[in-house]
Structure 1
Amino acid sequence: MSSINYSEKIPNNVNLSEDRTLQRALEQWQPNFINWWDDMGPEGSTDMDVYLRTAVSVDPQGWASFGHVKMRDYRWGIFMNPGDAERTIHFGDHKGEKAWDSVPGEHRANLRRIIVTQGDTEPASVEQQRHLGNTAPSMYDLRNLFQINVEEGRHLWAMVYLLHKHFGRDGREEAEALLERRSGDQNNPRILGAFNEATPDWLSFFMFTYFTDRDGKFQLCALAESAFDPLARTTKFMLTEEAHHMFVGESGISRVIQRTAQKMNELKTDDVQTLRNAGVIDLPTIQRYINFHFSVTIDLFGADESSNAATFYSSGLKGRYEEGKRVDDHVLKGQTYRVLEAKNGQLVEKEVPMLNALNEVLRDDYITDSVAGVNRWNKVLEKAGIPTRLSVPHKAFHRNIGALKGVKVAPDGRVVSEAEWKANVDHWLPSGGDRAFVASLMGRVVEPGQFANWIAPPVMGINRQPVDFEYVRFN
């Protein structure tokens, strides 16, 4: 089950050829997917040969093969981690029972909703990043963008397979709808707000892949605990690919900071305008981008109190991050968790049933993980002798969902008046001027080994290739 059959029209390790009806249905969906890719995938990339990683097995070791391929010919497919016939459900009301190979009728609607919502994020991010190749800061970065794009395409395939195989006509209709919605479209937008935001520049892209793809990691980890075994096995394999997306974000921002610090030392200044005139991105602007992308992303975890989250957990549909490492009873009835609310102009904590606070539990785990990466960025500044430190804002800052929606909170966690918010919003979130400045730096640099002025080269290339390797052949 670990090897992938590339001789089939749809590469897979799920014995697709043994289910002719399903195979025909997916082969009918495949041309629609290719049409979507041609319309909404990376702009102007049709003739490029890109040095891409392709899965050849789902074993932990040696599962990837590298080579130059056209993205349109990339071997998308359906890959699951190997199954365990003895696997049992390890949380919720069904704890100790055998994991499900098929969808129980009473959980059908909720499972479909979970899969569709996850599936919708995959093509959305490709659409958001469609134009970025035109302003790539290097060939190395262009290749990383394209690797992320094809993997998001494959993650869409992963969810579409589950919809087709387990949800009949409803699933087929949902799979079609995944190709019909469009990021940012007023009439038919993507399901989640963050996936309708523009990604207009590479600083936004690196922030997106660091913060928003990290949300993907936590959502996939929670789904990898699912009692519905096909979903758990699918998302476990997706996580192996998601790691690269977060690496691109973390290392990308690190290289931006490194270049800025280098210029600050060279010019002996932290003056914003002087640094902008020198063609690098000043640290206050980087901080405002962090504030925006972090706050938009933590909204993706949903309301801080949610009966749906309780239902998903108790039903065994979606666990917590690293459920198996937790030392409680994995049922959680009678347990509580603290969430924030605004009261009399202050943020206060209140105890709520933990089952209803599971979105907040996952959000807090995410925040801990995000902070660790920001601390690594600060090490770059520390090494350069720059005293400034970057941080994530308070989790109540700039929230648009749940009990904190619309509450005016400064990045340091103070509840502020409408007047104070308006007076400071351009110091806390990217202004039109910030975005225009960053956009002005975006110019395509694609000669092997050359890099835009605003970003430092990476320490090493991809797959032990040199940094100046020809990662993309433009033909």
Structure 2
Amino acid sequence: MSGINYSDKIPNNVNLSEDRTLQRALEQWQPNYLSWWNDMGPEGSHTHDIYLRTAISVDPQGWAHFGHVKMPDYRWGIFLNPAEANRKIHFGDHKGEDAWQDIPGEYRANLRRIIVTQGDTEPASVEQQRHLGLTAPSMYDLRNLFQVNVEEGRHLWAMVYLLHKYFGRDGREEGEALLERRSGQQDNPRILQAFNEQTPDWLSFFMFTYFTDRDGKFQLCALAESAFDPLARTTKFMLTEEAHHMFVGESGVSRVIQRTCQVMNELKTDDPAKLRAAGVIDLPTIQRYLNFHYSVTIDLFGADESSNAATFYSTGLKGRYEEGKRMDDHVLKGQTYRILQAQNGQLTEKEVPMLNALNEVLRDDYIKDSMAGVERWNKVIEKAGIPFRLKVPHKAFHRNIGALAGVKVSPDGRVISDAEWRDFRDQWLPTEGDRAFVASLMGRVVEPGKFANWIAPPVMGINRQPVDFEYVRFN
């Protein structure tokens, strides 16, 4: 077992107490972090005892301990996967060389930018989800929200550790700035636009944790290939925690669909107005939420053609998803990839150097993975005997980054006029009316084993506990 030292003020498995300068710097950052958590963490929750999992090891088996903890007392810390002996760089211009334990000077600026961008998403999602606990559909869901929140907080610690240890004063200043930006704030917003969107209701939260946390999975998998070994080891352990966030999203949407289908069969109707009157979320509204969250998330992968992506790969900073399973030369010079462009009112493909298309390669891997989960949601609808299918929209739909930014494209992939977009937008993306209706369902249900009318209970509880277990104790 690769254990974690909980006797230190900051739990860690990186021998923090042997680096007194770093320890002091992080201990100075800690009160600012707790102040941010108290101001921007889950509202009205600081005195609750919550059934949380805490990392006690980085061993894949038995790495977590479950127990009731107050969130401000949660032991956030710095946990890296064990070092791999004689690890080599396996892609880019440095392929075959020893992995770096320190950062080559010429790559510091780019690597700092990567770490800061990843680090900024972690507190941003906590801020976006800050008010959701006040409208939880069940105690089970409330606990899952809080688990996601504390782990996003720990992922921030993971990135701040790297900034403090390897980037000196610049890193310390970046660490402070991560606590100063605010999701959605006009003057000092979060770096990536998806993390400035509101998450005002639980359907949005489930879509966010399914789609946007899945972007996190793919970005972390790419960083887990990094030639910079401490970053690779950090992100590998983050991925262990990230899996639960995507489970919350996939199972949450699935339970919303299950309940809707149940009421559709009881009332023998697919009329959205009648279903809304019965207090459930109609399937076309779920499709519009899906379209929005999916399209906003695939923008997170960046421009389809990017010299930065080429630089990050060639210099060994960021690999591809599952780099080691790919059967090419892992250098990619002279190879090409097809990307989309809009030309003469049509979507066409063009070939570009693969190194410049690596954002698009990662986006396409993500799209395949996302579609698999949507198909699992369709199985729920199919099982209920209802002739409706959820679909992932075309990847050119509702894009705001890259060559497709601002091009008006229908969900089925047709380039359309501005007038047609205006006519059909409300059929494709959530309207103010949709959001107001979903918001109207958001009443707090926190009695153990009880669930809001619009969502089905889960099949099983957390950590083999019953569904009606007291996951949150309100003090």
TM over 0.5: yes
Whole-Å Cα distance in 2 between the matches of residues 139 and 206 of structure 1? Answer: 16
Structure 1 residue 137 displacement after superposition? 0.1
Shift of 1:102: 0.5
1:60 aligns with 2:36: no
3-state SS, counterpart of residue 184 of structure 1: coil
Deviation per CA, 1:406-455: give whole Å up to 9, x if none.
00000000000000000000000000000000000000000000000000
* Residue equivalent to 1:386: 386
Q: Residue type of the partner of 1:201?
A: D
Q: Report the AA paired with residue 254 of structure 1.
A: S
Q: Matched residues in 2 for 1:348 and 1:458: separation?
A: 44
Deviations 1:206-237 (A, max 9, x none): 00000000000000000000000000000000
- Distance in 1, matches of 2:117 and 2:403, equals 22
Matched, 1:97 2:91: no
Letter in 2 for 1:343: Q
Deviation, structure 1 residue 106 = 0.4
Match of 1:374 in 2: 374
5+ residue gaps, structure 1: none
For 2:387 and 2:90, how far apart are their aligned partners in 1? 47
- Structure-to-structure mapping, 1:306-325, within 5 angstroms: 306-325=306-325
1:56-90 CA-to-partner distances (Å, cap 9, x unmatched) read: 00001000000000000000000000002300000
Q: Which runs of 4+ in 1 moved over 6 A?
A: none
**What SS is found at the alignment partner of 2:386?**
coil
| In 2, Cα distance between equivalents of 1:443 and 1:314 | 51
Query: Residue in 2 aligned with 1:40?
Result: 40
Question: Partners of 2:266 and 2:416 in 1: how far apart?
Answer: 39
Q: Partner residue of 2:242? A: 242
Inter-partner Cα distance in structure 1 for 2:139 and 2:104: 48
Amino acid aligned to 2:9: K
How far apart are the structure 1 equivalents of 2:141 and 2:85?
42
Q: 1:46: how far off? A: 1.0
Q: Distance in 1 between matches of 2:106 and 2:386?
A: 57
The one-letter amino acid paired with 2:464 is R
Q: Is 2:403 aligned against 1:409?
A: no
Structure 1: which amino acid aligns with 2:137?
A: P
Amino acid at match of 1:194: A
- The TM-score normalised by the length of structure 1 is 1.00
Query: Which residue in 1 is equivalent to 2:436?
Result: 436
- Structure-to-structure mapping, 1:168-187, within 5 angstroms: 168-187=168-187
Correspondence for 1:301: 301
Q: Residue 134 in 1 paired to residue 134 in 2? A: yes
Instruction: State the partner residue of 1:232.
Output: 232
Letter in 1 for 2:77: G
**Which residue is equivalent to 1:197?**
197
Q: Does 1:341 align with 2:362?
A: no
**In structure 1, C-alpha distance between the alignment counterparts of 2:273 and 2:446, rounded to whole Å:** 28
Q: Which residue of 2 aligns with 1:462?
A: 462
One-letter amino acid of the counterpart of residue 452, structure 1:
A
Give the superposed CA RMSD: 0.5
CA distance in 1, matches of 2:191, 2:392: 26
1:21 alignment counterpart: 21
How far apart, CA to CA, are the structure 2 residues paired with 1:90 and 1:176?
Answer: 34
| Paired position in structure 2 for 1:329 | 329
Residue aligned with 1:86, SS? coil
AA partner of residue 96 (structure 1): G
Corresponding residue for 2:397? 397
Give yes or no for the alignment of 1:207 onto 2:207: yes
Alignment-derived partner of residue 471 in structure 1? 471
Q: CA deviation at 1:2?
A: 1.7
Percent identity between the two aligned chains: 87
Say if 2:153 is the partner of 1:163. Answer: no
SS of match in other structure, 2:329: coil
How far apart are the structure 2 equivalents of 1:332 and 1:103? 23
- For residue 127 of structure 1, give the secondary structure of its aligned residue in structure 2: helix
Q: Which position in structure 2 is the counterpart of 1:252?
A: 252
Residues 1:153 and 2:139 are matched in the alignment: no
So what's the TM-score if we normalise by structure 2? 1.00
In the other structure, the counterpart of 1:266 is 266
In 1, Cα distance between equivalents of 2:114 and 2:391? 32
Aligned AA for 1:262?
A: Q
* Matched length: 475
Give the letter aligned to residue 74 of structure 2: Y
Q: Which amino acid aligns with 1:386?
A: I
Deviations 1:267-289 (A, max 9, x none): 00000100000000000000000
Q: Gaps spanning 5+ residues in structure 2: where?
A: none
Question: For the residues of structure 2 that align with 1:8 and 1:96, how far apart are their CA atoms?
Answer: 37
Aligned with 2:225: secondary structure?
coil
Corresponding letter in the other structure for 1:444: R
